[in-house]
Amino acid sequence: MYLLSLINQEIDVKSLCQDSPKLGILYQGLYRKGLVNENQTITSRGKEFLEYIEEAQPEQVFVKKKVDVSDFDEWWKTYPGTDTFTYMNKSFSGTRSLRVKKEDCKAKFKKILEEGEYTASDLIEALKFEVEQKKQNSVKEKTNKLTFMQNSLTYLNQRTFEPFIELIKSGVKIKETPQVAGGTDI
């Protein structure tokens, strides 16, 4: 910002940038983002940015939403540990672990929430929706659909939750099939 304001005041920053590689890199970033042009003059976009920063309150500029650690823990517990499960008195055997690299998942979960597009509740509900759907389809098709679920880190990295969030936001509800204890199939 300081470098941008110097350029706005029509101060020649060329010598500063030549003497300091760090300032040179910062200037290149300003140029790359379209805030200054090759003539070392500020663009209209750069002026708009400076005006915005000058008008903004410090709290508004630097507010960063803190991610509640318990949200991740709830998401982690919701994620199936393996692809082995029992649903509606039907057992399905699996072959692999689905929860992997907890710390990497925590960092990715935090990053997704900091982007601000989704809440922790969105991610948790989308996961519940997908798992419930896979279990129901497993019973219907008599084959373990949970084996096709990605591991936890891939799930977050590839943002597999997004279509399920969209389904939930469009009004589709999770229809949990009641589990009958001790019943027999006829």
Q: Are residues 86 and 47 in the same domain?
A: no
Residue 153, both tokens: 């880190």
Q: What is the domain extent for residue 9?
A: 2-62
Per mean pLDDT, which of 12-26, 91-105, 166-180 is the most reliable?
A: 91-105
In a domain, 101, yes or no: yes
In a domain, 148, yes or no: yes
Count the domains in the chain. 2
In a domain, 176, yes or no: no
Condensed to tens digits (0 to 9), the pLDDT of residues 59-77 reads 554 455 555 568 888 889 9
In a domain, 180, yes or no: no
Helix, strand, coil fractions of the chain, as percent rounded to 5: 55, 5, 40
Q: pTM of the prediction? A: 0.56
Q: Are residues 75 and 145 in the same domain?
A: yes
Condensed to tens digits (0 to 9), the pLDDT of residues 86-139 reads 888 888 888 888 888 989 989 898 888 887 788 888 888 888 988 888 888 888
Q: Are residues 156 and 73 in the same domain?
A: yes
Question: Is the separation of the CB atoms in 156 and 112 below 8 Å?
Answer: yes
Given pLDDT bands bounded at 50, 70 and 90, which one contains residue 179? very low
